[in-house]
Chains A and B, each alone.
Chain A
Amino acid sequence: MQKIIQVLHPGLLTTIQDLGRTGFQHIAISCGGAMDPRQMILANQLVGNLDTDAGMEITGYGPTLHFPNDTLIACTGAECSVSIKSPSGDKRPLPTHRPVLIQANSTVEWHHTRLGFRCWIAVAGGLQFPKILHSRSSHLAAGIGKPILARGDKIPIGEANPDTLDEILTALQKTGLTLGSPYSAGRWRLKASTPESWPIIHLPVLKGRHFSLLSDIQAERTLQTLWHIDPQSNRQGIRLNGPPVLLTDTAHIPSEPVRQGTVQLPPDGFPILLSCEHQTTGGYPRILEIPGCFTHLLAHASPSSRIRFRLTSLDEVDTAAIKMNQEWKRIRQSLSDRLQP
Chain B
Amino acid sequence: MPAKTAIPDTPGISTCADNMLIVDYKGHPDPSSSVQQLYHYLIEHKPAYIQEIIAGIHTLAVILPAPSCNREGRSRGIDYLYMAISRSRLTVPARNRTVHLPICYARELAPDLDFIARHTQLETEEIILLHWQNTYQAQLLGFMPGFAYLKGLDLRLHTPRLEKPRQRVPKGSVAIAGEQCAVYPNSTPGGWNLIGATPLELFDPTRTRKNLIGLGDTIIFEKISKPQFERLCKK
A310 to chain B, nearest CB (A): 14
The A-B contact count (CB < 8 A) is: 122
The segment from B50-58, B75-83, B100-108, B222-230 that touches chain A is B50-58
* CA gap between A112 and B210 in the complex, in Å: 39
* CA gap between A322 and B69 in the complex, in Å: 10
Instruction: Please tell me which one of the listed residues A206, A208, A256, A314 contacts residue B56 in the complex, with CB atoms under 8 A apart.
Output: A256
Q: Contact check, B20 vs A257: say whether CB atoms are below 8 A apart.
A: yes
Q: Contact check, B56 vs A255: say whether CB atoms are below 8 A apart.
A: yes
Chain A residues near B55 (CB, 8 Å)? 26, 257, 281
Interface size (B, Cβ < 8 Å)?
42
Q: Contact check, B60 vs A257: say whether CB atoms are below 8 A apart.
A: yes
Chain A residues near B22 (CB, 8 Å)? 209, 256-257
Instruction: Please tell me which one of the listed residues A27, A281, A317 contacts residue B211 in the complex, with CB atoms under 8 A apart.
Output: A27
Q: Contact check, A257 vs B56: say whether CB atoms are below 8 A apart.
A: yes
| Chain B residue with the shortest CB-CB distance to A25 | B52
Chain A residues near B18 (CB, 8 Å)? 206, 291-293, 314, 317-318, 321
A311 beta carbon closer than 8 Å to chain B: no
Instruction: Please tell me which one of the listed residues B58, B69, B145 contacts residue A254 in the complex, with CB atoms under 8 A apart.
Output: B58
B192 beta carbon closer than 8 Å to chain A: no
Q: Please, what's the 1-or-0 string for A299-323, where 1 marks a CB less than 8 Å from any CB in chain B?
A: 0000000000000001001100110
Please provide the chain B residues from 130 to 164 with a CB less than 8 Å away from any CB of chain A in the complex. Answer: 140-147, 149
Q: Contact check, B57 vs A142: say whether CB atoms are below 8 A apart.
A: no
Please provide the chain B residues from 30 to 82 with a CB less than 8 Å away from any CB of chain A in the complex. Answer: 39, 43, 51-61, 63, 65-66, 69-71
Please provide the chain A residues from 143 to 185 with a CB less than 8 Å away from any CB of chain B in the complex. Answer: 143-144
Given A23-B52, A144-B205, A281-B140, decide whether A291 and B145 contact each other with a Cβ distance below 8 A.
no
* CA gap between A257 and B145 in the complex, in Å: 15
| Chain A residue with the shortest CB-CB distance to B70 | A318
Categorize the interface residue count of chain A. Answer: 35 or more
Chain A residues near B69 (CB, 8 Å)? 291-293, 318, 321
A24 to chain B, nearest CB (A): 8
Q: Contact check, B147 vs A28: say whether CB atoms are below 8 A apart.
A: yes
Q: Contact check, A280 vs B57: say whether CB atoms are below 8 A apart.
A: no
Instruction: Please tell me which one of the listed residues B14, B53, B54, B144 contacts residue A141 in the complex, with CB atoms under 8 A apart.
Output: B144
Chain B residues near A281 (CB, 8 Å)? 54-56, 140-143
Instruction: Please tell me which one of the listed residues B14, B61, B71, B141 contacts residue A27 in the complex, with CB atoms under 8 A apart.
Output: B141
Chain B residues near A279 (CB, 8 Å)? 142-144
Q: Contact check, B51 vs A292: say whether CB atoms are below 8 A apart.
A: no
Chain A residues near B145 (CB, 8 Å)? 27-29, 142-144
Q: Contact check, B19 vs A257: say whether CB atoms are below 8 A apart.
A: no
Q: Contact check, B17 vs A289: say whether CB atoms are below 8 A apart.
A: yes
| Chain A residue with the shortest CB-CB distance to B215 | A26
Please provide the chain A residues from 9 to 32 with a CB less than 8 Å away from any CB of chain B in the complex. Answer: 22-29
A-B contact pairs, 6 of them (CB 8 A): A27-B145, A28-B211, A29-B145, A143-B186, A255-B57, A289-B20
**Interface contacts beyond A23-B52, A28-B144, A254-B56: sample of 17 additional A-B pairs, CB < 8 Å, sorted by A:** A22-B52, A22-B65, A25-B52, A25-B54, A26-B43, A26-B141, A28-B142, A209-B16, A259-B63, A262-B17, A279-B142, A281-B141, A291-B19, A292-B17, A293-B66, A314-B18, A317-B18
Residues of A at the B interface (CB closer than 8 Å) are 22-29, 132-133, 141-144, 206, 208-209, 254-257, 259, 261-262, 279-282, 289-293, 314, 317-318, 321-322
A-B pairs with lowest CB-CB distance, top 4: A257-B54, A256-B56, A257-B61, A254-B57
Residues of B at the A interface (CB closer than 8 Å) are 14-20, 22, 39, 43, 51-61, 63, 65-66, 69-71, 140-147, 149, 186, 205-206, 210-211, 215
